Amino acid sequence: MTRSLSDARAALALATTQYLEACDVLCSPLKTASNETNRLYINEVAESAENFIGSIRDKLSDTVIVLKRARNRHVHIHWIPPEILVKIMLLDLEVHETPGLENPIASRASRAISLSSVCSHWRELAIQTGSFWSRILFSFSTSLVTAFIQRAWDRPLEVTMIEPPIELTYYSYQYELWRSQSVVKDHIDKIGSLNLSVYNLAKIGVITDWVSRFSPPCCLQELSLGYTGERWSDIFQEPYFPSPPTTLELDSIAN
C-alpha cells in the first residue's frame, strides 16, 4: 500500500507540473500578441481550457474526499472502539448542557450537530445513536424538530417548551403551540418527558389546555410545568386569574 501511495503521489506531481507547463505554453503567445492576433484562436483555446477544467473538477473533488476520509480513519482518536468513542461524545454533550447556560438544551443540540459534522465516521456514529437527538426544544425550526425525532429512533423523547421572555398575545402564543403540536402529534407515544416553562402567568392556561388535547402518551414518565417570570409577590397584591379563563383539563394524561 505504501508503494502504491508513493507512485500515486509521484504521478500527481508529474501531472501538476505538466498542467502548469501547458498553461504557460497557452498563455505565452498572448503576452506578445499584436492587434493581428487571431481572436478565433484565443476563443478556441479558452473554450478548450474550460472544458478540460470542467472534466477533471468532479474527479479531483471525489479523489480529495476519498483521501480525506482515508486520512481521518488513521487519526489516533479513531483507533478507539466505536462504543467508547460514542460514550466520550455523549459526555461532551453533557458538558454543553450545563444548567448555568442560558439555554442548555439548545447548546446541547448545537454541539450534537457540530460533532456529527466532524467527519463521515463521527456522523455515522452520531446518527445511529438515538440519545444524541432525543432532547428536543420546541423553539427549533420545524425541519430541525423533525430531523431530531427521526434520528432519535425508538428512544423516548425529552421534549421541552420554553416561553421566551417577550410579549406574545394569547392567540399568537397558542398558534406557536399548535405549530409545535403538528410536528410531534404523530410521535406522541414516544414522549417520555414533557417539560413546559412559561414567563407570563397568563400563558399557563394556554399550556394546560394544549397538553390536555393529547391522547395519553404511553411512554410519558415526567410532566413538569415551570414559571420563570417575576415573583408573584412582586407583581400582584391580590390573587390573579389568567385571562381569558380556561379549564384545567388534565384528566387525559392523569393515567
Per-residue pLDDT tens over the stretch 178-215: 666 667 777 777 888 888 777 777 667 766 676 676 66
Task: Decide: 220 and 192 in contact? Cβ < 8 Å.
Answer: yes
CA distance 156 to 220: 8
Rounded (5°) CA angle 102-106-109: 145
105-122 mean pLDDT? 88
Per residue, the 3-state secondary structure of 184-218, as one string, reads: HHHHHHHEEEEEEEECCHHHHHHHHHHHHCCCCCC
68-95 mean pLDDT? 85
CA distance 80 to 75: 10
Predicted confidence at residue 249, as pLDDT, reads 42
Predicted confidence at residue 78, as pLDDT, reads 80
Task: Decide: 171 and 210 in contact? Cβ < 8 Å.
Answer: no
For residue 247, name the pLDDT band (cuts at 50, 70, 90).
very low
Helices (H), 104-236: 104-115, 120-127, 142-151, 170-184, 204-212, 232-235
CA distance 46 to 116: 42
Helix (H) or strand (E) holding 244: none
Residue 134 CA from chain centroid, whole number: 13
Chain segment 41-76, per-residue pLDDT in tens: 777 777 877 887 777 777 778 888 888 877 877 778
Strands 157-162 and 222-227: unpaired
Is it the case that residue 250 has pLDDT exceeding 50? no
Rg (CA), the chain: 30
Look at residue 56 and give its three-state secondary structure: helix
Is it the case that residue 30 has pLDDT exceeding 90? no
Q: Which carries the bigger pLDDT value, residue 230 or residue 2?
A: 230
Predicted confidence at residue 42, as pLDDT, reads 73
Instruction: Output phi, psi for 157, to 5 deg.
Output: -85, 140
CA distance 73 to 78: 6
CA distance 141 to 51: 42
Position 193, amino acid:
S
CA distance 206 to 218: 23
Position 16, amino acid:
T
Predicted confidence at residue 9, as pLDDT, reads 76
